[in-house]
Structures are given as structure tokens and as C-alpha cells.
Amino acid sequence: MNKKLKLEELNRLSIEDFKKSAKDPIIVLLDNVRSLNNIGSVFRTCDAMGISKVYLCGITAQPPHREIRKTAIGATKSVDWEYAENALEIIKKYKKLNYSLIAVEQTSKSISLENYAYNMGKTLLIFGNEIDGVSQNLIDECDISLEIPQYGTKHSMNISVTTGIIIWTLKMQKISNQR
């Protein structure tokens, strides 16, 4: 029989154990993200995927906030995060630290996600505003732009969905390369 597991059967890490655990060298930067539910969902994804840190920049709201908490379900306590008003300063900081800087945006030179080979190194993923996307001044500082192929009539996806797809794809590439 295929039995659904109860929460206590999932053997999840405690917050303390999660904080001590090894993380992938991926940092997520959210710039000017308006939706508190999207912010919470990104935190939850970053917890599930073992991401090192989240930066909240510009108008992006910060925990604690009821609407963030509703979708994060505690992930704001497990995932390291920091607020910085200016995303460009954070990007320049991580450029000096030799991180790969990746704008998740449709650009004239963006690489389709299925054609991207993740090098498993230090990576800063930049996600932008739900309407305007990643701003051009941030794209200009990045090494590459990644986009998710889309086959319908819309030209974009929800930022929390996009974050999940990008991180999951990178994680799967890492696991495949380790086999």
C-alpha cells in the first residue's frame, strides 16, 4: 500500500540543524518584489532546496509580516536573509567575491534554462519586480541572463514559480553531475 506520510514521519531537520547544515553556494536576490505572498513562497523554496541566503532589496518587504509568514510557513526563521536597499551594491559586492551573477530575465542574449550548464560554484541569482522584471542596470552587471522556455501566450511566470523552477533545475544538474 502507498501510504501518505504524516509530518512527524518526514524526518525534517530542526531549524537549528538546518542552519548548521551544508548549503549550496547559491544566494537569491529579490529586487523590488511587491507581493508578500511571493516573498514568502521564495523563502519556502529556498528552505526546501538548501539555499545559502536571500537578499531582499528595494521595496521588497521584510519579515516579520503576516502575509510573508502565511506562505513561508516558518522558512524566514530557517533561511538566512538580509535587507539591502540598493541591489546594485550587493551585486557589486558578490562580483568582487567571484560569484557567478545571473539575472533571471528575458534579454537579447539570455540563455534558455535547458541549455545552461550549472558549474556548481558560487552563484547569485537575481530576480526582479513582478511587472518590470530585473532592471537593466542590474542586468548590465551580470555575467549571464537565464530564461525559462515558455510555450503559451504569456511572456512571463510568477516570480515564486520561476524561482522554484530555476533552483530545482540547478539542484538536479548538481545531483546528476555527482553521479
pLDDT of residue 179: 78
pLDDT tens column, 129-178: 999 999 999 999 999 999 999 999 998 999 999 999 999 999 999 988 88
pLDDT of residue 7: 87
Across all residues in the chain, what is the average pLDDT? 96
Contact predicate 75/43, CB 8 Å: yes
For the chain, percent of residues with pLDDT exceeding 70 = 100
Who's near 134: CB < 8 A, 6+ residues apart? 31, 103, 104, 105, 126, 127, 128, 145
pLDDT of residue 29: 99
Cβ neighbours, 10 Å, residue 3: 6
Contact predicate 69/40, CB 8 Å: yes
Identify the residue with better confidence: 7 or 2. Answer: 2
Q: Which three cell numbers stand for residue 123?
A: 552563484
pLDDT tens column, 50-88: 999 999 999 999 999 999 999 999 999 999 999 999 999
- Number of helices (H) and strands (E) in the chain: give both, helices first: 7, 7
pLDDT of residue 177: 86
pLDDT of residue 168: 97
For the chain, percent of residues with pLDDT exceeding 90 = 92
